[in-house]
Amino acid sequence: MAEPRDRKGTGTGDHEPYPGLQIIHAGLFRTATKSMALAYRELGYTAHHGLDDVLNGNPWIQLEHAAEATWPGVQGSQPRVKFTRKDWDEIWAPYDVYTDLGSMFVPELIEAYPDAKVVIVKRDPDKWWPSFKTELLDSLWHPRAWLVNWITWNIIRCRAPFTMMKVHLGFFGVQNRADIDAVAKQRYEEYYEHVLRAVPAERRLVYELGSGWEPLCKFLDKPVPDKPFPRVNDRAEHDKGEKERMETIKKAFLKFLVPFLVAGAAVGIAIYAYRT
């Protein structure tokens, strides 16, 4: 399996210039993105999957800027100029293909990488939506998420939750979480319809989940591996990643509190000693 390139590969000098995304993966969150990432890696591609390391392994600040540039006016955004190929290269430079985190930017990536092949993965919207809503949206906008978000940014210095909120609000074309439900399935269908219109038939594959290696390998001109096609339970993978993320956040918060607890204890001891 190929290893990701150094991000310095976008530049010149001793590093090989980044050739750009080889594959644009058009499959939204909760459409077997982990299984597809493993399949791409098995075929020799460097594949990015956001849940592999949510807090530290993703270019969250760049993606937040991409969301602001793609959907001007999204809640909490700053004015940005439209992203260019160079901007996208700086995000994806170590990889040949992304899966989940880039999926909502597919129209922009199709324009930026006109030679890339496009793999389209779609689930039945009636099956996709409950999973997407529960695992992503309800988690992002949980009533107690504000504390987790505060810790994630102010202590860990990670923009993950804020980036994800902007990406989803922008993608669905709304200003708040409450408005997503009414437009979600329509926007889902429009997304795939746009990809089919924008990409010539010879440059795209509509991959049916469960169809194995053959159609994907034929499209990418790769030999068929002598092993079963990866099949990962996305929900179990998400739950595992969420548990690991919360453990990291708890440890960071406790580490943050230690100096205050020590100082408080010292003050308490001093007051006690003074009074006695």
Each residue's pLDDT tens digit, 77-128: 889 999 999 999 999 988 999 999 999 999 999 999 999 999 999 999 999 9
Q: Which residues are CB-neighbours of 21 under 8 A, at least 6 positions away?
A: 88, 92, 95, 96, 97, 98, 109, 113, 116
Buried b (16+ CB within 10 A) or exposed e, 78-95: eebeebeeebbbbbbbbb
Distance between CA atoms of residues 25 and 47, nearest Å: 10
Share of the chain above pLDDT 90, in %: 61
Cβ atoms of 271 and 84 within 8 Å: the answer is no
Return the domain boundaries, the chain: 7-275
Beta-bridge partner residues of 206: 120
pTM above 0.95, yes or no: no
Lowest mean pLDDT among 127-141, 240-254, 262-276: 262-276
pLDDT value, residue 55: 64
Angle at 204 between CA 188 and CA 50, to 5 degrees: 55
pLDDT value, residue 147: 79
Distance between CA atoms of residues 29 and 5, nearest Å: 24
pLDDT tens digits for 11-56?
444 557 889 999 999 999 999 999 999 999 999 999 999 877 666 6
The type of residue at 70 is T
Q: What are residue 152's phi and psi, to 5 degrees?
A: -60, -40
Element (H, E) at 167: helix 160-172
Beta-bridge partner residues of 120: 26, 206
Per DSSP, the three-state class of 4 is: coil
Distance between CA atoms of residues 62 and 88, nearest Å: 9
Cβ atoms of 26 and 119 within 8 Å: the answer is yes
Q: Which residues are CB-neighbours of 17 under 8 A, at least 6 positions away?
A: 9, 10, 11
Higher pLDDT, 66 or 15: 66
Cβ atoms of 8 and 82 within 8 Å: the answer is no
Q: Given the structure tokens 């809503």, which residue do they identify? A: 133
Class of the CATH-defined domain 7-275? alpha beta
The number of angstroms, rounded, from the C-alpha of 268 to the middle of its chain's C-alpha atoms is 46
Distances (CA, A) of 137 to 112, 167, 251, 259: 28, 11, 25, 35
pLDDT tens digits for 160-170?
889 999 999 99
